[in-house]
Each structure stands twice: as C-alpha cells, then as structure tokens.
Amino acid sequence: MKHKWIKQLTESDSRLHKEDVLKRALDAGDHVFLNGIRNCYNPYITFGVKQIPATDGITGAPNPYEEFDELLAKLSARQLTGHAARDAILGMSLKFDSDEWNLFLAPILRRDMRAGFSDRTINKVCKGTEYVIPTFGCQLAANSEGRPEMVGTKWLEPKLDGARVLLVVSDDNTATCYSRNGKVFDNFPHVEQQVLSNVYAIRTYLRIKGGFVLDGEIMGKSFQDLMRQAQRKENVQTQDTVFNVFDILPLEDFKRGFWNAQLRKRLAILSDMQPVFDAMPNVTRVDSQIVVDLSTEEGRTKLHEYATEMVTAGFEGIMIKDMEAPYECKRNTFWMKWKPTITVDLPVIELEEGTGRNKGRLGALVCRGVDHGKEISVNVGSGFSDTERDLFWKQQEVIVGRTAEILCDVITQNQDGTYSLRFPRFVRWRDDK
C-alpha cells in the first residue's frame, strides 16, 4: 500500500521530516509511489477532470497500479473526456482499496496531494533521478526605476491589466492555460479550443513539430470579473475574455527555461502569424507597439509620450523590452515595467489587528474619505516597518483621525459603485491636512 507514505508525510509539518519520508521511499525503490508523486506535481501533465469520486469500505481489492497508469495516460492525452472519463475513473476506483484510492490515487487525479510538501522538497531528495519534477517558470519583468539598462533600442508595448497566462500546447495536441506560477486555469476553454483549431498553422510559423507556448494576458470586461473567472467561481461567464499574446516559444525550450531566439525574431513570428490571429475571435496579438532608442533624447521623449498615451487609454502602464534579448524563465532586465503610481490622502477611521506574525500589533489601517473627487474606502496593510506596526497599535487613540498618504497603482470602482485602491501602501502621515 502506497498511502502509508502519505500518512507518514502528514504526521509532521517539519520539512526535514518530509524529506526523510521521501528519502526512505526512494531508498526502498518504491517506483509506484514516486512515479505517482511525479504525475501529481508535474506542471505539464493535466487530466482534465474536476470531480473525483471517493470509495468507502473496499477491502481486498487487486490494486492494479499499471491499469491506473494507463488511465492517467489516456486522460492526459484527452483520449478520455467528459462522461467517458468520469465512468472510467469511477470504474477504476472500485478496483482499489479505499484508503489507497482516497489517500493516494484520487489526489494524483486532483493534482493535489495535500501532504504539505512541494516540488522543491521532492527535487531536493530525488536529485539526479527520474522522479525530478520539472519546474514551471516564465519571463518576468523588473521595475524600470533607476535601471542603468534603460538605454539602447527597446520595444514598448502597453502593460495590460489582466491575468498573465501561459497557454501550453503539448506535443500530442492538448492545450492548457497556466498562471505564471504553474496553476491551471480551467475557465478559458474557448481560448484553448481556438488555439487548438490552428495548432498546425502555428507550428508552421514556428518551424517546429512539437509543442509550443503562447505567453500573454487574458483580459475581461473588468479586472474584478476576470479574477473571479480565473479563480473558478461558479456561474461566471468567460466567453467575453480575450487572450492577448505578446510572446511565443517552443515547449521544449520553455521547459528548460531558455530560448536563445532574440525578441525581434519572436515578434516577427507573431507578426507573420496575423492570419492565424484573424481566424481566432478570442485570441489576438498585442498591438500599439513602438520601437525607441533610449540612448537618445528623442527616444526618451518618445517613451514618456507613449507611456502617457497608454495610461490615458486605460492601460496599467507600459512594458520596456530589449529587442536583442532571449526568452529566459526568470525575472531580469530583458523586460522592464513602468507604471504610474497615484498618491491618495485619506483619514484613518480605525485600526485592524494583524494575524500570524502581526498578531497583537497593527495589521491594517482602515481609511475612508474623498480624494480625486471619489469616495474611497480601503484597508492599507503594507508599507509599515515592524516598529511602526508596534507603535501605531499602541497609539490607536492618536492614530485614528490622522490623514495617511497612500501610494497605489490605480483607483478602482467596485460593483456597488464605491471606490477602492489597487495595491495600497502606506507612505507617511500628512498632518498638514
């Protein structure tokens, strides 16, 4: 029985304990268990199922692990979907001991072992073996402020206010939307299907035969609605969402975290693909781009003019990208982001106690007032030092009524018509107001 390892893993929250259990499983040569863990944690394997039945009271079952692996392969390749997948999973559950199914096999299908360990822990123990979990990463932008790299020829494009999505198409033509951290987004099947309908054309433009990745941003009617969609809330419509693609690369290179093709080459591929984008109602290419030379006064002036234009048009800011840089799955200055910040002055009406390490001291300032012509209500929980959290909590009678200067990315309107702030940070007290 393989679920014994899961029970042992959950006996302690200690990282060292979990490493020890996994090492014992590795030393015991328990291929079934370790292979199951790899299938569960591999970010490039999905099974396309949500509801996994539990079993109750089954004893003396044959536990056919090879049959279960065959089922996983069919689900991953989408040879079984819908009712056929549901029936196959139900039938498989009846072939296993109830604890074995409920504690070990069903979590694999859910891709959630719920045993308190991560892929990093697995990879530390299983380094150099076939059980190492591929890491999931993508190109991330650095803040542009004060960067000496802000010189030379740069590609400018709008910074979209949506959800970062990596649409991964496998070698065997399955499509999955991931967050930048490898979380699967299930609520954009219309986007996945449109890409799959044009998969061979995309491969032609990329000049590959295998899988590929489209990197971009999913946009909806509003940021709040989009987040509800991304978080898979019930009764949320997704058909209006549009996938804005700003990069592309082969899956093989994405998995190894690096593609040496210059950005100008990748952008040329996307430009050549315009007929493909024209055929997809909910997938488009990011436009409104310009190229500037930031080594010149003219280029720097164009950057500021473009940034102002994009913000005025409703975008979050702009992206500044090195035309000669490769795609590398980590944060670096190949991509830089610039976005304006807004300063708001609001009175404090009360203080909230923190939780966890902030228990017994300030968690957030509750602020409410009028600024920028809008009635704004917001809880400000960042921007404080540990000393300030202790001091402000002890001086609540003095703090209430003071005016806080708050830095935020944007003023947002809630569904009820009231206003709040996106990413508010405490700056200082404005006792002059």
Task: Look at residue 221 in the predicted model and tell me its pLDDT.
Answer: 67
Pair 144, 338: CB distance under 8 Å: yes
Pair 326, 258: CB distance under 8 Å: yes
Structure tokens at 322: 């090195």
| Positive/negative CA dihedral, 332, 337, 342, 347 | negative
CA gap 40, 2 in Å, rounded: 14
Q: Token pair 């069919």 is at which residue? A: 74
User: Which segments of the chain belong to CATH 3.30.470.30?
Assistant: 140-337
Q: What is the pTM of this model?
A: 0.73
**Fold of the domain built from segment(s) 140-337:** D-amino Acid Aminotransferase; Chain A, domain 1 (3.30.470)
CA gap 56, 150 in Å, rounded: 62
Structure tokens at 298: 């003219």
Task: Look at residue 148 in the predicted model and tell me its pLDDT.
Answer: 79
Beta bridge partners of 243: 218, 283
User: Which segments of the chain belong to CATH 2.40.50.140?
Assistant: 342-429
Pair 355, 366: CB distance under 8 Å: no
Task: Look at residue 227 in the predicted model and tell me its pLDDT.
Answer: 56
Instruction: Give the number of other CB atoms < 10 A from CB of residue 128.
Output: 7
CA dihedral 269, 271, 272, 277 (to 10 degrees): 110
The pLDDT tens digits along the chain (433 residues) read: 899 999 999 999 899 999 999 999 999 999 999 999 999 999 998 898 888 988 886 777 889 999 999 999 999 988 999 899 999 999 999 999 999 999 999 999 999 888 989 899 999 999 999 999 998 999 999 988 777 778 899 999 999 888 899 999 999 899 999 999 888 888 889 999 999 999 999 999 999 999 999 999 998 765 555 555 555 544 455 677 899 999 999 999 999 999 999 999 999 999 999 999 999 999 999 877 799 999 999 998 999 899 888 887 878 789 999 999 999 999 999 999 987 778 899 999 999 999 988 999 999 999 999 998 899 999 999 999 999 999 999 999 999 999 999 988 778 888 778 899 988 999 999 887 6
CA gap 38, 62 in Å, rounded: 23
Q: Token pair 């898979």 is at which residue? A: 232
CATH assignment, 342-429 = 2.40.50.140
Cα–Cα separations (whole angstroms), residue 61 to 55, 64, 83, 94, 98 = 12, 9, 24, 8, 9
Instruction: Give the number of other CB atoms < 10 A from CB of residue 123.
Output: 17
3-state secondary structure 64-129: CHHHHHHHHHHHHCCCCCHHHHHHHHHHHHCCCCHHHHHHHHHHHHHCCCCCCCCHHHHHHHCCCC
